[in-house]
Amino acid sequence: MASQFGESLLALVFPSRCVLCKQELRQSLVGGICGDCWCTLESWTGSVCTRCGLPLAANVDTPKFLCADCRRSGYPFDAARSFGVYGGSLRAAVLELKFHGHEGLGTRLGRLLLQPWMALEVAACFEGPALIIPVPLHRSKERERGYNQATVIARGLWRTLRDLNRAASFRFERRFLVRWRSSAPQSGLSLHARQENVRGAFAVVAPERVEGRDVVLVDDVMTTGATASACTSALKRAGARRVAVLTLARATPQFPDLAPVCPSWNPARRPDCPLAAVDRRTPPRT
Ligand SMILES: [Zn+2]
Ligand SMILES: [Zn+2]
C-alpha cells in the first residue's frame, strides 16, 4: 500500500511516458509501456510450420505440416516458435528494446514467451532442469549497448516460470554460450551469406554442464534461422539433447511489415534514432 502510494506520488512529480505512444503514464509500469500499447502486441494464432514455427499465410489441416525449408534441409534445432509476427507494435517494442535502452521493456516482453512455450509439443518432453540460454552478443557489442536484449527477454521468461512454481524445472544460464567472433550485421544478407556470417561464431563455455541437457534458446527476432542454427550447432556439439528456440517475433516475407498499430509511434520523429533512415522492408538483424 505504502509502496503503491509512493509510486503514484513519484509518477505525479516525475511523470514518465509510454515508450511506444509517448502518452503520459498514470503510474510507473515495468517496461514503461501503457496498457493500450500492451494490448496491441498481437500473438500469432494462425497455422505454423510444425518444426520451425514459420507463420503460414493460409490455414492448413495437414497434421505436422512442414514448410519448404524444413522439408528441403531442416534446421538443427528441434523446434522453434515465436510470440508473433515482426510488425506493428511488436516490431516497435523490439526496436525500442534494442536501440533506445529500454532494458526493463525486454523483461516484460520476455513474459510473452510463456505462450509459445506452452503451445510447443516438444516442451512436454523436456526433462528438467532444462537450461534457458539467450543468444549471446559479442562482448564489444554488449558493452556498447549496455545489455544483451536476448538476456533480458530470457530473464522475463525465467521469472514467469518461477512465478508459476516451475523454477525447479529450469535454470537460467546467461553465460554458458558465448559469441567469440564478432560478425557483420545479418541485415540485408541472403540466407547463404547469413549462414556463412555466423558459422563458428558461437561456443559453449562449459560443455560438461550442457551435455545431456534440454535447452530453451531465446532471442528477440528470428528471420532465416541462421543465428539460431549456429547457436544450436554449438550446443549440440557440446552434447545438448534437445534445443527449442523461442523468439518474440518471426520476420517473414509472407507478412511484410505494415504501418505500426500504435499510430503515434514513428521512429522518424526521433532525429537521434538510427532507424529513421532504415528501409521498413529491410529484415532485422538476427
Ligand atoms: Zn502506449
Ligand atoms: Zn519450417
CA of 19 to the centre of ligand 1 (A): 7
Peptide bond into 129 cis (omega under 30): yes
pLDDT of 174 strictly over 80:
yes
Report pLDDT digits (tens) over 194-221: 777 788 889 999 899 999 999 999 999 9
Q: From ligand 1's centre to the CA of 225, what distance in Å?
A: 30
Q: pLDDT tens across 217-265, in order? A: 999 999 989 999 999 999 999 999 999 999 999 998 766 554 333 333 3
Tell how far the Cα of 166 is from the centroid of ligand 2, in angstroms: 29
- φ, ψ at 83 (rounded to 5°): -65, -45
User: Mean pLDDT of all residues in the chain?
Assistant: 83
CA of 91 to the centre of ligand 2 (A): 22
Calculate how far, in angstroms, residue 155's C-alpha sits from the geometric centre of ligand 2. Answer: 27
Pick the CATH number of 42-277 from 3.40.50.300, 2.60.120.560, 3.40.50.2020, 1.10.569.10: 3.40.50.2020
Give how far Cα 14 sits from Cα of 8, 51, 103, 222, Å: 10, 47, 19, 37
pLDDT tens per residue, range 138-155: 999 999 999 999 999 999
What is this structure's pTM?
0.83
Q: Which ligand is nearest to the CA of 47?
A: 2
Domain boundaries in the chain?
1-39, 42-277
Buried-exposed string 9-22: b where 16+ CB fall within 10 A, e elsewhere: eebeeeeeebbbbe
Neighbours of ion ligand 2 (CB under 5 A): 49, 51-52, 54, 67, 70
What is the C-alpha to C-alpha distance for residues 163 and 255, in angstroms, rounded to an integer? 34
Structure confidence at residue 117 (pLDDT): 96
Q: Separation of 100 CA from ligand 2 center, angstroms?
A: 32
